Amino acid sequence: MAYFNPEIETLDRGDLDALVDERVAYTVRYAAEHSPYYRRMFEKEGISPGSIREHEDLLSLPLIGGKNLRENQPPVTGEFGFLSVDWNRIFTIHESSGTSGTPKAFFLTWADWLRYAEKYARCFVSQGFGPDDRVVVCASYGMNVGANTMTLAARNVGFSVIPEGKCTFPPRVITSFRPTAIVGSVFKLLRLARRLRDMGLDPATSSIRRLIVGGESFAAESRAYLAEVWGVDVYNTYGSTEGTMCGECTDISGLHVPEDLVHMDLYDPGIRGFVQEGECGRIVLTTLVPVGEHAGMVLINYDTEDTTVVLSRERCACGRTHMKILNPQREAETFWVAGVPVNRVDIERGVFCRDNMEYLTGEYEAFLYGGGEESGTTLRVSVECEDPGHCDRELVQETFLKSFFAGKPPLFDQYNDGAFEVVFHFTDPEGLELYRAKGRPKRFIDRR
């Protein structure tokens, strides 16, 4: 079994917890000494940084979120309150997409980059990558840290990178360079497969040996279909500028969290408290700084607004001891209908049922309408057909509804009572609204 950092990745649980506690205590002290925001926060809350000695102590500290970052940077303030080193030690500066307001600023030192790269390197090695691999990276090389961090991780692992940035590269990249893996989203990789087939190339007989999907949550059904189309295993990664970077190993039974470098708790805003093991909650992360090292900025109890479940803290079949979590979902993609949460992945699950994929491309979008006491709520599901003239629409609708309602009995009752309606729209290729929208496409939108 291969490991990038075997001593850390296979630490016994007791030793791992002790290492985490040591780094929690150091990180909190570091934040109090170097971060203007945390210095003020600890003083305001009357918290002694020295009283935070282990990871359980973090549960008593306030939560922060993107709003706190935006309110402690220009143009709101004259300084970057989370900046935790002198400017001359900053290696790179990054910003979030800004889709929900002023972009959040992030600062990384070279030491941060090395830690970020190690997280991805561990993921790559756990997925079977080695020096003989050539990997096409279809992720942005702009202000997002993901693609750049993967490239640095590739240097550490020893494989070659083809830094395309997008999945619209010409098929000759596949035939000429014979890459062994591609990093991209489910839909980018499916579109690439269609382009290859249109040019007479079968993705399943190409040089590709594995696919890495990241950047968004997805349904098990869409992963299974992607694996079928390419004829390879599909691995999941979850990363962010804040520093999460979790990934599946070859056991494909959950994403390993690099617990020595990022601490994760799960929080339920409904009860205003942290959840028990095995329950779903929002990911609250704390970046861990190794004792004696520095960081461009530190986040303590940062609410990512992504939800997950801790699956296991036991030793994995791969030998790793770091905990595993369920594929996170974005809470911003969850809407409530008649007291029932509906996430984009619930829609995707119904679209990608295997029988449906005889007729559909997998591209979809969904909208919620109505919501009034008299009108009820309507879910409109639009799907793209390979050939609308030869699509078994009745089968697609029945298959979708069976999948969608399987885990939502209360919503099925609303459907039977007429208070909740599901309507379908079938389009030609590129007939969906998202093709005309600018920026990252939104596949589930609440228009109530």
Q: What's the confidence (pLDDT) of residue 276?
A: 86
Q: How many CB atoms lie within 10 A of CB 166?
A: 13
Residues 6+ apart with CB under 8 A from 326: 254, 255, 308, 309, 311
Report d(CA 5, CA 25) in Å as an integer.
23
CA nearest 325: which of 269, 382, 275, 383?
A: 275
CATH class of 1-327: alpha beta
Cα 326 to Cα 21, 69, 162, 184, 310: the distances in Å are 24, 27, 30, 19, 7
Residue 372's pLDDT band, with cuts at 50, 70 and 90, is: low
Average pLDDT over residues 383-395: 95
Residue 127 one-letter amino acid: Q
Q: What is the pLDDT of residue 188?
A: 94
- Output 158 or 99, whichever has higher pLDDT: 158
C-alpha–C-alpha distance, residues 321 and 270, integer Å: 31
Range 8-15 contact pairs with CB under 8 angstroms and sequence separation of 24 or more: 8/260, 9/122, 9/319, 9/320, 9/321, 9/322, 10/315, 10/319, 10/320, 10/321, 11/260, 11/321, 12/321, 13/313, 13/321
Residues in Cβ contact with 398 at an 8 Å cutoff, skipping those fewer than 6 apart = none
* Average pLDDT along the chain: 94
Alpha helices in 144-242 (DSSP H): 146-157, 172-177, 186-198, 220-230
Residue 11 contacts residue 321 (beta carbons within 8 Å): yes
Per-residue pLDDT at 374 = 65
The pLDDT tens digits of the residues spanning 47-72 come to 999 999 999 999 999 999 999 999 99
Using pLDDT thresholds of 50, 70 and 90, give the confidence band for residue 373.
Answer: low
For 220-249, how does the pLDDT look when each residue is reduced to its tens digit (9 = 90+)?
A: 999 999 999 999 999 999 988 888 889 999
- The predicted-structure confidence for 22-53, as pLDDT tens digits, reads as follows 999 999 999 999 999 999 999 999 999 999 99
Among 247, 250, 310, 253, residue whose Cα is nearest residue 278: 310
Residue 143: pLDDT band (50, 70, 90) is confident
For residues 220 and 253, the answer to whether their CB atoms sit within 8 Å is no
Q: Name 424's Cβ contacts closer than 8 Å, sequence gap at least 6.
A: 380, 381, 382, 383, 393, 396, 397, 400
Mind listing the pLDDT tens digit for each residue in 294-347? Answer: 999 999 999 999 999 999 999 999 999 999 999 999 988 999 998 899 999 999
Topology at the third CATH level for domain 333-446: GMP Synthetase; Chain A, domain 3 (3.30.300)
Boundaries of every domain in the chain:
1-327, 333-446
Query: What pLDDT digit, counting tens, does each position of 264-284 carry?
Result: 999 988 778 898 888 999 999
